[in-house]
Amino acid sequence: MSSIRSVNSTLNSELNGWKELKSLITSRHGPTIMAQIKDLEKMEIKTTKLQNDNVFLKRCKKNNIIPHGLRIKNQWLDIPSTRKRFQKLEQDLLKDIINYNYGTLAKLKREIDDTKTQILTICTEHHHAIFDFINTSKLKYNTEVKQKQRNKFDRLQQTQKLTPRINSHPHPSIHVKRSSIVNLSNKTLTEDETEILELGLNYAVPLRNQSELIVGSGISLECCLQDLEISEEKEDSVLRGLSRILSSYKNRPDNNIKSYQWIPPKIRSIKQDKNIIICPADKGNATLIMNKDDYNNKIMDMLTDPSYEMIRENPTTRLEKEIQIKLKSLYKTKRISKSVYNSIFPRNSKAPIFYGLPKIHKTGTPRRPICDFRNSPSYKIASHLSKILKSLVHNPFTLKNSYQFSQQIKNHKLQPHPKMVSFDVASLFTKVPIPETITYIENYYEKHQIGNLIQV
């Protein structure tokens, strides 16, 4: 044995690397045995990877962490009962992959032993050098993969501490997006009422019979597997595990709906109080509760502005008929196409709704006037005209939003202690002179020779 090892050490020094060893083996024993050696190296590397993968996945399972690649996209995140089901589905999928890896490792071990036996039989004098080179490559790869898996787990663990995936709300079935509640009314909110309002004004109690929603997640997972570079055998194993999980949910009674039974009575209780008004704030994603009399008084103060005028009758029906007659005339004279005619023709119009959003960020909580024209007679035709007029606006002094402003000034060099000043026009839209604006648009069209202006 000692003589063999001395021969191998001499051989290693003479070969001076893996490349020379492969060339020598190929020349002495042919390419077939060299292919077996390459397969052995690949199997050893794959074994190392699977072992490290299982260590990583078991640590994730122990600490209730789901790796990003195994997280299932929940399209129904606003339905709280689906969160637990998706988390259970992810945990079961994690367990199935660990078990599958163990099965693959056992199969690889048998193949490695058989391959080593064949190499040992043919390459009697060189097998120690071959195995030493493969083990060196395996140890180097193991060190790199182990460090990557440790770093990956540390990042996942740190992310979970910052944004825990498991809901810690007093009502576990409720997923609360914390928003500020501003109570300016005389009503004292109970703890349950405050909790419901914190859910947001767009929150809806989940529907019954949600088990079929899990099927959509199974489809999402199958689409994810198609993007991964894994073997068909492994993909089939994962899909079989998913099928077992989905089958376990079939015809299972949906008991989570009981977790929400306390919400509707509380909502009805709040709605029955006719002395308060609940509305969103103008800015800040806050929910405002205020006395109904205070709200109405503020609105009436706004309507005393000379920009508003009291009328004796509702002109909605008359305006709708006038617009319909005008559009029919334009269509018959072929001044507008049939598609435009159908898209802007008003039907079943209603009077616009006027309300005010409280500006809680300003002293005295003034109201921002909002007039909802969406169902009014002129809404569709106004939307059509807006698209046309927007194409004419090329003002270098206008900004789309604050992001565009920041992009424009980020490369500007400012003097020390700069000051930024902005101006605001109070009630801008109600102070725009309508006849002069229409005249300006007509002159602009004629000056720039932009098509034919339709006078409505």
- Is 217 inside any structural domain? no
d(CA 267, CA 200): 12
Tokens of 264: 């509707």
Q: Look at residues 166, 200, 232 and tell me which one is the last residue of a structural domain.
A: 166
Tokens of 343: 């898209």
Residues 352 and 396 in one domain: yes
Residues 143 and 205 in one domain: no
- 370 strand-pairing partners: 355
Residues 302 and 394 in one domain: no
pLDDT digits (tens, 9 = 90+) for 165-212: 434 444 444 444 445 788 888 988 888 888 888 888 887 776 555 555
Most confident by average pLDDT, 129-138, 154-163, 309-318: 309-318
Residues 98 and 15 in one domain: yes
More confident residue, 291 or 224: 291
Tokens of 454: 């339709």
More confident residue, 128 or 301: 301
Tell me: pLDDT of 451 over 80. no
- pLDDT value, residue 320: 94
- pLDDT value, residue 2: 39
Residues 304 and 316 in one domain: no
Mean pLDDT of the chain, nearest integer: 78
More confident residue, 271 or 259: 271
d(CA 88, CA 93): 9
- pLDDT value, residue 209: 55
- Is 57 inside any structural domain? yes
- pLDDT value, residue 424: 78
Residues 301 and 318 in one domain: no
Kindly state the average pLDDT of the residues 18-27: 73
Kindly state the average pLDDT of the residues 66-81: 70
Residues 44 and 177 in one domain: no
Residues 15 and 157 in one domain: yes
- pLDDT value, residue 275: 92
DSSP 8-state code for residue 45:
H
pTM for this structure? Answer: 0.47
More confident residue, 300 or 126: 300
d(CA 429, CA 425): 9
HSE on the CB side for 161, CA within 13 Å?
6
More confident residue, 276 or 442: 276
Residues 8 and 99 in one domain: yes
Q: Look at residues 102, 132, 166 and tell me which one is the last residue of a structural domain.
A: 166
- pLDDT value, residue 329: 93
More confident residue, 83 or 325: 325
- pLDDT value, residue 77: 56
pLDDT digits (tens, 9 = 90+) for 207-250: 555 555 666 667 777 777 766 667 777 777 777 777 777 666 65
- Is 144 inside any structural domain? yes
Residues 63 and 22 in one domain: yes
- pLDDT value, residue 206: 66
Kindly state the average pLDDT of the residues 20-47: 81
Domain of residue 190 covers 167-210+261-310
307 within 8 A of 430, measured Cβ to Cβ: yes
Residues 159 and 177 in one domain: no
- pLDDT value, residue 74: 66
Residues 154 and 20 in one domain: yes
- Is 253 inside any structural domain? no
- The alpha carbons of the chain give a radius of gyration, in whole angstroms, of 36
Query: Where are the alpha helices (H) located in 123-200, listed in sequence order?
Result: 127-162, 191-198
- pLDDT value, residue 189: 86
- Is 456 inside any structural domain? no
More confident residue, 24 or 259: 24
Tell me: pLDDT of 73 over 90. no
DSSP 8-state code for residue 277:
E
Domains identified in the chain, total number = 3
- pLDDT value, residue 350: 92
- pLDDT value, residue 403: 78
- Is 216 inside any structural domain? no
Lowest mean pLDDT among 54-63, 216-225, 332-341: 216-225
Tell me: pLDDT of 421 over 80. yes
- Is 215 inside any structural domain? no
- Is 243 inside any structural domain? no
Tell me: pLDDT of 326 over 90. yes
Q: Look at residues 310, 345, 370 and tell me which one is the last residue of a structural domain.
A: 310
Report percent pLDDT > 90 for the chain. Answer: 11
